[in-house]
Every structure is written in C-alpha cells, then in structure tokens.
C-alpha cells in the first residue's frame, strides 16, 4: 500500500572488501567496548536477528538460518559477489557516503557499481583536518590549507559531516571561535600530536563547524548513539540548541544524524528551526523489530518535510540490506496504520513516504 519507489540513503559508509569469518562478521554487528560477554553472542541482538531475517534469502538461503550456515554461503560466493547481491537487494537508488572511516572499505564509486545506484561523497570534517595537518608544516599553512580544503571539498561533495559530538560532546560553545583562539589551539594541537592522533580540541572542532557552515553545503551532525564507550547524554541533540540558533538564517541546512535515544529531541529541533532536519533511519538498524516504533517517535514532532532516511550502515553490506528493509517495513506499518485508522488519507501517506524516502534528501542535497 505504501512503498516509495526510490530510496536515497543520506548517510552510509562503504563495505569491507575483505572476507570475514564468524567472529569478524559478528564484531561488525554492533559497536562495543570489547568482545561479547562469555556465553553471549552479538548475533543475539536486534541487528543480528534482522540480518538473519532479511539477508539469507538474498543469497539463496532460508530466513533465520544459523549464522554459521549463512557465513559458509557468503564465503562460497565470495565477498564481492555476496556484496553485489546484497547491495542490489537493498533497493537503494542513491548512496551518500561518508568516506572518513578507516579500514578496507569500498569507495563511493565501487559502492555505486556494486549496488547499481548513484553515489555521492560526504566529507568528514575532522578527518579532513587531520589530513591537512599531516601535510602542513606551520599553523598558518594548516589554517590556510584547511580553509582551501573545505572550499575544495564543497565543490565535489554533497555534504559535510561532523563527529564533534562523538569526539568532545555536543556541549560546544555556539559561536565561532576567534581567530587568535583558533591559532592558539591549532598550535598546541600540532605541536603535541603524533601521527594518527585524532582531533578532539573543542576550539578546532567549532572552527571546523563554522567553516563548513560558511560553505553553504548541508552539514550533518552526529547525535545520540555513536562512540560506544562515551556518555550518551553528551550527544543529546538538545545540547546543540544554541549552535542551531546561531546558524539560523545563514542559508546552510543542518541535519541531525541518528539521534536515538534522543530522537524525539532531534525531531523537536527540526520542528522549531527551519534549517534543521532529522534523520530517521540509522537507529532502525540498531533496533530491528522495534524500528516502526522508533520511526513513529520521530514522526511525532518533526515536520514531514524535514525527515530524511539513512542507514548509517558500515562495513557489512548486510547492514545496508537491513537498514533498507526495516525502513520500508516500518514506513508501511506506521503510515499504513494511520491510514487504516482513518487518521491520515492514503494520498497523504504516500506523499509523505516519498518525501522521507527520497524527496527531502533530493531537496536538501540538491540531487537531481
């Protein structure tokens, strides 16, 4: 009854090119601090159950088949062929890919070819800054190169993404840091950093946010679940309120990614501020059979023109499959339920489904 014809995934990552054993596959099912507790397995999670529900049929097996059998079949096909079948079975028409994660992951072009879909690049600000620092000898050259890199990225990417919340928490001072402050922070950071050190300085994180805002490209902000061992309340999107207010009217759209377990707060901000949008997908991969409820909670306060689908998937093509299937099923269940009760008209439900699945992303990211 309600099945949007195309899906734009506004935030995902590439998939692993390497072959995976049972343990390495399992480790990709969740983001944890350490291996599963003795006597337990990460397959016994909503994500694990959803993978076993939706993926085996795409590789010619029964739904819910045991993990070992599934992985045997996956190895039999080979990683490349399994990925192709899985990605093509996920029904995505466009991928927006954050290329800022380490690991042997496919780039947007490979993802596009494997999935027979469009792919666009999202540039991760913190990684960009780290790369610039690696090749800049002085603070002055670092700051100049950084501005140029952001400017250059804005010409080919469809969005910037910031993990400032995961690196430092979202309780950042809302205004742009002063030039002297930025120079001081950059100097200290560059002097102290070793190879591979990550950017966590709050002044530099804010500087990045503001040069991204100045670029006019949509800016995605990670909120809610993210860095597994960090306090999740430090990424409550409500902490962004002052920053959101400071960036209102500048012409740059903000997109709050993930949000869960504070997705109602993200939806509230999307309802109040014209330039704020809320993600409704990344939490679904994590909450599996509960996806319809989580989606419905986002649909309480967020205007329907401000909600965007994503999967947040990384590493496993299985997570891409699950993200898409759970979203379609949740959307059909939630909106279809409201139609059955007489609360919504079917026409409206179909229109809203299309907005969330692809229309809003097309408008915000300027996709054709």
Measured from the CB atom, the residue of 80 and 242 that comes closer to a copy of itself is 242
Beta bridge mates, 122: 98, 159
Which of 306, 311, 320, 328 binds a copy of itself (CB under 8 A)? It is 306
Under 8 Å between Cβ of 170 and 235: yes
Could you say which residues in the range 41-60 bind a copy of itself, by CB under 8 A?
41-42, 44-46, 49-50, 52-53
Which of 35, 57, 178, 216 binds a copy of itself (CB under 8 A)? It is 35
Residues in CB range of 146: below 8 A, 6 or more apart: 128, 129, 132, 136, 208, 211
Least separation in angstroms between CB 72 and a copy of itself: 19
Q: Which of 8, 5, 247, 238 is nearest to 122 (CA)?
A: 8
Task: Centre a 10 Å sphere on the Cβ of residue 38 and count the other Cβ atoms it contains.
Answer: 5
Residue 124 interacting with a copy of itself (CB under 8 A): no
Residue 278 interacting with a copy of itself (CB under 8 A): no
Return left, alpha or beta for 106; rule: phi > 0 is left, psi -120 to 50 is alpha, else beta: beta
How far apart are alpha carbons 65 and 62 in whole angstroms?
A: 6
Measured from the CB atom, the residue of 111 and 239 that comes closer to a copy of itself is 239
Q: Which of 158, 179, 162 is nearest to 170 (CA)?
A: 162
Which of 60, 63, 109, 152 binds a copy of itself (CB under 8 A)? It is 63
Measured from the CB atom, the residue of 119 and 294 that comes closer to a copy of itself is 294
Under 8 Å between Cβ of 91 and 68: no
How far apart are alpha carbons 291 and 32 in whole angstroms?
A: 21
Residue 287 interacting with a copy of itself (CB under 8 A): yes
Is the backbone peptide bond immediately before 261 cis, with ω within 30 degrees of 0? yes
Q: Which stretch binds a copy of itself (CB under 8 A): 73-81, 102-110, 137-145, 228-236?
A: 228-236
Which of 57, 60, 216, 274 binds a copy of itself (CB under 8 A)? It is 274
How far apart are alpha carbons 158 and 228 in whole angstroms?
A: 27
Residue 175 interacting with a copy of itself (CB under 8 A): no
Residue 216 interacting with a copy of itself (CB under 8 A): no
Which of 17, 64, 151, 198 binds a copy of itself (CB under 8 A)? It is 64
Residue 233 interacting with a copy of itself (CB under 8 A): yes
């Amino acid at each position: 009854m309600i099945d949007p014809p195309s899906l734009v995934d506004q935030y995902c990552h590439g998939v692993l090119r390497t072959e995976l054993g049972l343990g390495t596959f399992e480790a990709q099912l969740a983001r944890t601090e350490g291996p599963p507790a003795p006597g337990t397995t990460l397959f016994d999670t909503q994500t694990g159950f959803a993978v076993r529900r939706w993926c085996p049929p795409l590789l010619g097996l029964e739904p819910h088949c045991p993990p070992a059998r599934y992985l045997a079949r996956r190895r039999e096909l080979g990683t490349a062929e399994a990925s192709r079948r899985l990605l093509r079975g996920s029904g995505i028409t466009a991928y927006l890919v954050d290329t800022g994660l380490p690991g042997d992951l496919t780039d947007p072009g490979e993802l596009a070819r494997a999935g027979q879909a469009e792919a666009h690049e999202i540039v991760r600000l913190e990684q960009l800054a780290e790369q610039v620092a690696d090749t800049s000898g002085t603070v002055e050259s670092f700051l100049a190169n950084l501005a140029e890199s952001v400017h250059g990225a804005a010409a080919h990417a469809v969005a910037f993404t910031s993990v400032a919340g995961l690196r430092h928490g979202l309780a950042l001072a809302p205004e742009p840091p002063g030039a002297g402050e930025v120079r001081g922070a950059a100097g200290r950071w560059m002097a102290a950093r070793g190879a591979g050190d990550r950017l966590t300085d709050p002044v530099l994180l804010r500087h990045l946010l503001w040069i991204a805002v100045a670029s006019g490209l949509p800016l995605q902000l990670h909120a809610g679940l993210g860095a597994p061992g960090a306090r999740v309340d430090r990424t409550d999107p409500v902490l962004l309120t002052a920053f959101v207010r400071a960036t209102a009217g500048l012409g740059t759209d903000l997109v709050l990614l993930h949000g869960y377990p504070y997705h109602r707060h993200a939806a509230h901000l999307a309802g109040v501020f014209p330039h704020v949008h809320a993600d409704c997908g990344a939490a679904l991969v994590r909450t599996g059979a509960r996806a319809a409820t989580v989606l419905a909670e986002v649909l309480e306060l967020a205007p329907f023109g401000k909600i965007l689908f994503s999967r947040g998937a990384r590493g496993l093509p299985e997570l891409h499959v699950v993200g898409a299937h759970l979203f379609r099923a949740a959307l059909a269940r939630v909106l279809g339920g409201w139609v059955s009760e007489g609360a919504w008209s079917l026409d409206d439900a179909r229109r809203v489904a299309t907005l969330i699945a692809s229309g809003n992303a097309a408008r915000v990211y300027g996709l054709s």
